[in-house]
Chains A and B, each alone.
Chain A
Amino acid sequence: MDLLGFIIICVKVLVVFAATMFTVLALIYAERRISAFMQGRIGPNRVGPKGILQPIADGIKFLMKEDIIPASVDKPIFILAPAILLVPAMMTFAVIPFGSNITLFGREIPLQIADVNVGILYILALTSIGVYGIVLAGWSSNNKYSLLGGLRSAAQLISYELAMGLAVISIILLAGSLKLNDIVADQQGYFFSWNVVKQPVAFLIFLVATYAETNRLPFDLSEAEQELVGGYHTEYSSMKFAMFFMAEYANMITAAALTVTLFFGGWDVPLINEASLGMVGVLLSVISFILKMAFFLFLFIWVRWTFPRFRYDQLMKLGWKVMLPIALINIFITAGYLSITALV
């Protein structure tokens, strides 16, 4: 690999990392403002104009607070757990294409960190790693509520991973590739070529599963305050708690980006051929990706402050007895349709 290529990759990694961190901050602010709006409150409005610097103040507060490690915790794992949760959450964005190819210095640069040919599996594999952080945090805290929270969350993640993976398989069948780039290219053109139109059932299953995978309401049983105090992060304080917090929001960002990529044409602007417009096309594609992603992030917050929490047995019933069979039937129908059209 030449030097320029290496530098380009480094820059892309930095830009994506910084953008994700910035979005986490913006999302925390948005969550607080929107929840305040929905509950008829004002929300944070003292730090900066309209309280826009509130997330930064929060961050400084987290850094300054005393970092308490309780006496009887399993120290190495207690310290390691937040990192195990945060790192995969930050890594998943690496394979998501966030714009059409840009031409700089006479070479074509894809707006994506790594074009892995098993991209979608990479994301699913990494999301399944995040569960270790939660389980280990719950166990190492030496606290019954934390342990229960961790176990609940592990069971939930494993159950909904299945439905999520099966929903994704029907998309893979349509695109005929595991590469996210090919999946985006498959949806180019009109609205009707987006996978949400072709695969509405898979979209619904995937959307519900992402809420369960990110531990957001209505599926946030692992940190159900009324039952489990705070769930797996009860014993955590200061920056370690902030890392759990950041991981949750980073997971939301990845989930939203993945929903856009798989079902809403990725960076595709309908009716426009981005490649023929040069730099304007690239800009348009990135903006359309960001706008679509912002909508799904808003949906996350909207749902959180609108729906009540599921009961645990309802959650398991929904995952195993409703979503899994529907996803399987959907795959069956999709594969059947594809094989029939291949014959004709």
Chain B
Amino acid sequence: MYLSLLFYFIASIAVGSAIFVVLNRNAIYSAVSLVLCFFALAVLYLLLEAYFLAVLEIFIYAGAIMVLFLFAIMLLNLGREEALPRFMQLQRSLSLMLVLIFFFGIFLILFGSSEILDPPVEKFSGGGVYSLGEALFSKYLLPFEIASLLLLVGLIGTVYLAKRKI
């Protein structure tokens, strides 16, 4: 009972802040409410007893990525009320179409199968640090290594772009 009440409370915060991110014109406000959204997601992970995932959500998204976003927004000093240019009609209609297709797909899945509405929730045992580590280094070793290689390439690329003369 209490848990489902908490779930709806947190979920509404997550959805509300996510909507606020999109609707707000002020970039800083958007960034801050995105952080709030990440926190709400982390609490949802906690409700699923996925502690490790919850902490990682805060650690990586809220703690690292969004700080860099804020950095960029502040240094570029995006104006407080920057009007959207008018020539975006094409983009607007295109994005509307894509969103409609996306929602159509979701509804198709929702009403197509009963399993989505009542999913078999499997809880992580023990927060999943051990199980996650074991899975990463045995079953998913290749994707893990590829991802790390990708990050390394990104890192080197950043250094190259930022510092032409080394």
Contacts and interface: CB of A to CB of B under 8 A. Distances in A.
A57 B67 CA distance: 37
Contacts of A139: 28, 70, 74
Contacts of B32: 77, 80, 132, 136
B74 A117 contact: no
Interface string B104-144: 00000000000000000000001101000000000000000
Most buried by B among A77, A124, A132: A132
Interface residues of A, number: 26
Nearest to A1: B2
Given A154-B67, A158-B67, A121 B52 contact: yes
Contacts of B52: 118, 121
Interface in A110-157: 116-118, 121-122, 124-126, 128-129, 131-132, 135-136, 139, 147, 150-151, 154
A218 B134 CA distance: 41
A129 B55 contact: no
A248 interface: no
Contacts of B70: 132, 135-136, 139, 154
Contacts of B9: none
Interface residues of B, number: 21
A74 interface: yes
Contacts of B41: none
Nearest to A136: B32
Contacts of A136: 28, 32, 70
Contacts of A150: 74
B58 interface: yes
Interface in A250-268: none
B43 to A, nearest CB: 13
A178 interface: yes
Contacts of B71: 135, 151, 154
A67 B59 CA distance: 34
Given A77-B28, A131-B67, A135-B67, A124 B59 contact: yes
Given A74-B28, A77-B32, A125-B59, A117 B67 contact: no
B97 to A, nearest CB: 36
Contacts of A128: 58-59, 62-64, 67
B63 A129 contact: yes
- Mostly, the B contact residues are helix
Contacts of A80: 32
Contacts of A116: 51
Most buried by B among A74, A125, A147: A125
Most buried by A among B56, B70, B126: B70
Contacts of B126: 117
B80 to A, nearest CB: 8
Interface string B48-89: 000110011011001110010011001100000000000000
Contacts of A77: 28-29, 32
A125 B58 CA distance: 6
A121 B59 contact: yes
B40 interface: no
Contacts of A74: 28
B64 A158 contact: yes
B62 A129 contact: yes
Contact of B67 (A118, A121, A125, A132): A132
Interface of B: 28-29, 32, 35, 51-52, 55-56, 58-59, 62-64, 67, 70-71, 74-75, 126-127, 129
Q: Which 6 residue pairs spanning A and B have beta carbons closest together? A: A128-B63, A125-B59, A125-B58, A121-B55, A117-B127, A118-B51
18 contacts: A76-B29, A77-B29, A117-B51, A118-B51, A118-B52, A125-B62, A126-B58, A128-B62, A131-B63, A131-B67, A132-B32, A135-B74, A136-B28, A136-B32, A147-B74, A150-B74, A154-B67, A158-B64
